[in-house]
Amino acid sequence: MTRAHEQTAKPETAAKTADDIEREASEWLMRVDRDGGPEVSRALAAWLGAHPRHRAAFLRISTAWRRADALRRLADPHEDPDIDLLAPDRPPAMESITEPAGAETRAAVTPLRPRMFARRWALPAAVAVALIVTTGLGMSAWIARSEQATQAYATGVGEFHRISLPDGSAVSLNTDTKIRVAYSSTERRVELLQGEAQFEVARDADRPFIVTANESHVSVVGTTFVVRRRSAGSLDVLVSEGRVAIDSAPQTLISAGQMALIRDGRVTTRTVDDITRRIAWTEGMLIFNGETLSEAVAEFNRYNRRQLVIADPQIASKTLGGAFKATNPDRFATALEKMFRIAARVHEDTSSSEIRLSSGP
């Protein structure tokens, strides 16, 4: 069934719902697959640069097809990992579609096509994109029928899920996350019970969108932001678009490109310049850029039952960079062996599974 907001084109990006932008990104992906010439590339660059939500949606959809080929060597135990995936002193290469469309971006878009959209993927890509859009619409319609009730959603360890809400907003749930959603005529409220979630909020001046966690309240009208609940009294809020208000004394406002750290009721803010890296989990990826091995291990352990354990304290402070599939600690350990000569040994029993890391060949 066609919904009212899909019947007319939106002149302003801010008025588009998450479904609208996902659909446009899907159409662009198929258009580039059919005709990747310079004119199409320039048009795509302009669309990507028009709004951060365009770039995020296009990256989200295209990654599904790019990942299969880009991570092939990590998935194949008989091949060495790409040395570019793990470098101690160099940040990972980021594709131009994640940056604003300036002159340099337009020049960089054209060469992406051979890597991203091989002709043999054309039909499966079109079918899968249709499934993505249809599934999103179906989820929204299902929620809308019980709009006055409270709905709960959860992911297990290593799972990711994207939910379309009845107002056109969308929520992406990270690993081991639980939320409770309650819509009314006066507000849209989501309670983050545990974990981490990204919110893409459709604008509705009459109904603020409120996220609560650890007795903190984050209120917005229309924006994109991430909330991570670390522990009781500890919360991170990262804003990639628009502004959010944090219920504190006095009230704290943070804008796109800023992060708020809430610790026991106290709020501190800072500017971040690596938002794309910080939200790579929405694509099932972890991207490191100068983190220590100890920090990288802690992140991997959030996504996997098989835990990484640093058995030798001397290697904990080694720094690294690269992009990795969040749910594949075995391939990460293999890359560590190849690049740093770190020994990785699997230990399993009836109750646990570990990969122990230590110095040595």
Per-residue pLDDT tens digits for 320-351: 888 899 999 999 999 999 888 899 999 988 88
pLDDT of the residue at 20: 78
pLDDT at 90 over 80: no
pLDDT at 355 over 80: yes
Average pLDDT estimate for 181-209:
93
pLDDT of the residue at 63: 58
pLDDT of the residue at 17: 72
Share of the chain above pLDDT 90, in %: 43
pLDDT of the residue at 1: 35
In 174-251, at which residue ranges do the beta strands (DSSP E only) sit? 178-183, 188-200, 209-213, 216-220, 224-231, 234-241, 243-246
pLDDT of the residue at 25: 79
* For the chain, domain boundaries: 4-129, 146-276, 285-359
pLDDT of the residue at 58: 75
The per-residue pLDDT for range 210-219, each reduced to its tens digit, is 999 988 899 9
User: In the chain, which residue ranges form alpha helices assigned H by DSSP?
Assistant: 18-34, 38-50, 52-70, 72-75, 103-109, 113-116, 122-145, 275-278, 293-303, 329-340
The Cα 275–Cα 239 span in angstroms is: 8
Residue with the larger pLDDT of the pair 148 and 101: 148
The yes or no reply on domain 285-359 and CATH 3.40.80.10 is no
pLDDT of the residue at 61: 67
Residue 15's pLDDT band (cuts 50, 70, 90): low
Average pLDDT estimate for 82-95:
40
What is the phi/psi pair of residue 297, to 5°?
A: -60, -40
pLDDT of the residue at 148: 52
The per-residue pLDDT for range 265-319, each reduced to its tens digit, is 899 999 998 888 899 999 899 999 889 999 999 999 999 999 999 999 999 999 9
pLDDT of the residue at 149: 67
Residue 16's pLDDT band (cuts 50, 70, 90): confident
Average pLDDT estimate for 79-101:
38
Q: Which of 222, 239, 139, 235 is nearest to 195 (CA)?
A: 235
pLDDT of the residue at 361: 64
pLDDT at 8 over 60: no
Indicate the pTM of the whole model.
0.63
The per-residue pLDDT for range 219-253, each reduced to its tens digit, is 997 799 999 999 878 999 999 999 999 988 788 99
Say if strands 178-183 and 161-164 run parallel, antiparallel, or are unpaired.
unpaired
Containing 348, the helix (H) or strand (E) segment is: strand 342-348
In the block, tokens 């026991």 appear at 264
pLDDT of the residue at 27: 79
Residues 6+ apart with CB under 8 A from 6: 19, 20
Q: What is the DSSP string of 55-72?
A: HHHHHHHHHHHHHHHHTH
Q: Name which of 57-61, 65-69, 152-156, 231-235 the model is least confident about.
A: 65-69
Token duo for residue 189: 């409220």
Say if strands 353-359 and 307-310 run parallel, antiparallel, or are unpaired.
parallel
> Which CATH code, of 3.40.50.1980, 3.40.50.2000, 2.60.120.1440, 3.30.930.10, is assigned to 146-276?
2.60.120.1440
- What is the overall mean pLDDT for the chain? 74
Residue with the larger pLDDT of the pair 97 and 31: 31
